[in-house]
Every structure is written in C-alpha cells, then in structure tokens.
Structure 1
Amino acid sequence: MRPVDYDDRLHRGYAAGRALSDAQRAAWARAFAARLPAARPLRGLDLGSGTGRFTPLLAAEFGGPVTGVEPSRRMRAQAVAHAAHPRVAYVPGRAEALPLPDASADFGLSFLVWHHVRDRPAAARELHRVLRPGGTLLLRTELTDRLPDLWYIDAFPRGREILAALYEPLSAVRGTFEAAGWEWGSVAEVALPPAGTRAEALARLRTRAFSVFEHMPEADIEAGFAELERRVAAAPGAPAAPGTVLTFRRP
C-alpha cells in the first residue's frame, strides 16, 4: 500500500474525526495502566503522536515526561496548539530513526501507527534502543487474523479487502519484534464504550480522518457513504468495537 501523507489532507479533519469520548479515554487509560509497572513516574514515548490524542493523557496518568514523536509537521502543530501539557514535548521524527537517547523511556505507545511504518525491522530495533531494559511497549494495531467487525467498513466496495491489506497477522508482528530482541508479552482486546450514536459516528467518518479512505477511489467512498446513510436511518443505535493491543517487554 502506498504511504499516507498526513500533511496533505488528513491533518485537517483528524482531531475531530478521531476524537475520543471521556469514557473511551478512561477505558484506554485503564488498559495502559494494567500493562505498565505500578511505579511512578514513568517516562514515556508516544510514537506517531499525531494531534496529541494520547500524549497528554500518558503524562497525566503516569507522571511523565512524555515525548510525542510525529513526522507530520501539520499534525504536530495541532498537538502543540491544542493538546499542550507541561510534561509533554512534541518532536519531529520517524519510527526508524527516533530522535531520543538510548534507554530514555520506561514505556512506549504506538497507537494505530505500525501499519504506516515502512521499515518495520529498523523501527523495532530503534524502539528497543530507546526503551530501557525492563521497559514495556504497547502496540495498538489491527491484525489480519483478528480484524474487528467495524460497523462501517463493508458498506464500502472492497473496504474489508483494503483494511486487510494494511495490516499483518500476529505472527508477522511478533516475528519482527522478537528478531529485534523484544520479549513477547500478550495480545488482548480492550472493550471500548461507543462514542455517541451511529449518526454521530457517521459524521466523524465523513471527515475521512481514517487512513483507509486514502486507499479508496472517490466513487467507492461516495457509494459507501450513501449506503451508510441508509443503514444509519434504519438502525441509529451506538456502534462499538474492541481495540487490539499487543504488549512487548524489553529484556
């Protein structure tokens, strides 16, 4: 799949389209805390921090400091302007070349970023370098052998096929990290509360802040949204889907 340029279009609607409800934010905070050491403070890395959806939360929950590494200049600008926190810093960088010292973080979070990384073996080695021995990496990603039943995806022609092409099976992700020296921890599904009704979810989808739309032709996108309008009118109830999180340990 071709690389996605967040500086081109996606940055404009990302914060609104991918906003978290308070209940969702709390659910993720509990999920992260359950997988991290009880000691505080914890120094963190938010890889692919985007507009700062999680970086301030990580600093508040785990005492900081937290560094958000984000390659998109326009996404970083929004994070700095709208998601500021005294223990958070946002810096330019890529997963394959992290601008951080060795062993400088106690934990790392990579939230729906891994499928954008071009050289995944190099990124796994860089994360191994930056996290201290005993550190924990939380990898939120989809897996081709565990794809979620997203409420909207099959309304789009080839939607599920495109979604599957973006990701890897669990065995491939594990293999990449274990080859870089990581110890396997676990895979789990985090139950998330819905963020409003289907109509509200459809409004967020219309921002096209989900990168899967970057791989669809315009005709398919128009057809999909027309189908979703019909479905939402017939069943306006709130959608919900779990989030897959992988845990790795730095020996």
Structure 2
Amino acid sequence: MRSLEGYIVPATVTLLLHAALLAALTMNWQSSQEPLVKPAPRHVKARIVSLEKSGAKAAARPAAPAPKPPPPKPEPPKPKPEPPKPKPEPPKPKPAPPPPKPQPKPTPKPKPQPKPKPEPPKPDPKVQEEARKKEQVRREAEQRQQQQREQQVREQKVREQQRLEQEMALAMAAEDEALAEGAETTTYEEAIAMAIEDNWSRPPSARRDMQVVLRIQLIPTGEVVGVSVLKSSGDQAFDRSAINAVNKAARFPEVAEAPPQVFERRLRSLQLVFRPEDLRQ
C-alpha cells in the first residue's frame, strides 16, 4: 500500500500542472481571437413619438440607452487545413526491353561429296579371250546335255508306246485265244456232260425242282480222280445218283486230246449241275 501511495501523489500533481497549463493556453488563444468592440458615443438622443389620433402626448422620458450588443461568440477555431496529400509519383516508365540480339544463322554444313569411284581396271585381252573360250565350251556342253535329255525323253516315249502296243496285242491275242478256248472247252464240256448223262440213273424220289452241283477233278488223260458235292439238292439218293454217274463214266477220251494250256485253264477242275429237267414234276 505504501508503495502505491508513493506513486499516486506525484501522478496527481503532474495531472494538475498539465490541466492548468492547458487552461492558460486556451484563454490566451480565445482573447487573442475576440474582436475589440468600442461603445458608440452618445451625440444623438432618440425619442419615440406616438402618432395616435386621440392626441395623447408622449411622455417625455429620456431614451433608454441602447443595450450593448452581446459580444460575438468566438468563432470556433478553424481546423487546420490538412496538408495536401502528396500526389503519388507517376510510375516510372519501365525501360524498354533491349531488342533481341539477332541469332547467328547456323552455317550449313557442306554436304559430303561422294568419293569418286575408282575406275575399274581395264580387262586384259588375254583373260577376256580365255573367258570367252570357257563360256563357249560351257554352252556347248550344256547344249549337248540338253540334246541328250531330249533324246532320252523321245526314246522313253517310243518305248512306252511300244510297250502299250505290245500289251494291247497280247490282250487281243489272249482274248482271241480265250474265245477259241471257250469254244473248244464248250465242246469238251458237252462231251463230258453227255457221257455222264448216259450213265445217270435218277432215283424214284427225283423231282423237277431238284438240283445238285458237283466238282470233278481230271488228269490230262481224261480220267476222273475226284468227285465232291458243292451244293446238295437236299435228297441224299438224288445226290448219290449224280456221283455214281460220274464214277461210271470214269474217263473222257476227248479230254486227252485237248491242248495242255486248255486243259490247265479249263478242264482240270469242272463244275457240273445235275437237274432232271425232263421230268414233269
């Protein structure tokens, strides 16, 4: 608390001094601003006269002194004109950019000149002549080979044609021979069939619709060496009668007169069909 009181007293004194100084400055400033008014001299007396019709006289009284005009109020202090704001300086013009420096044009590189081709060496006449002779020999050899190939092709065609003609001739001869053999074989087969039929005794059970197929094997002398049934008639007596007829014939003299090739191809093995066609039922 003591320390606070020690601060208050000096502060109060300081404030009072500042207030007195401020009041003195204000009064001095007002007195210097007020105009000096002098009272008017009284050389003229004024009187009020009444002009009423009744004729009453105006009272002769001295005119009251004119009241002093009130002192004009002091004009409020004109505010100090603010100093004009400094005009903003115009912006300094930007310096123009320097003109661009001209770029140096690139110097064109010289095109590489093709190297001159060396002239081929002149051929030696002797070498040329030797090469010409070799080429001629090669062509002649190739021509001979071509001719040989063509000759071989022609000969091959001739041989092929001859072979075809020969085969055709053989085929025609074989056909003619077959026809002749066929006719001759028919003669032998008819003789064999007649000899067997002369020895065939049909059983009572034989019917017109019965049929048996036999295989007969012969030798070049015409003798029978084997008989077998290929297809039965279904009647054993009928089949057995056909076999007995072949065995009775035993030998066919006409077969012994046949040429060997005809016998081998046509007569060594025969198939005979026994069918009683002359029967009514």
Q: Normalised by the size of structure 2, how large is the TM-score? A: 0.22
Rg (Cα) greater in structure: 2
The structure, 1 or 2, with the larger RCO (C-alpha pairs under 8 Å, 6+ apart) is 1
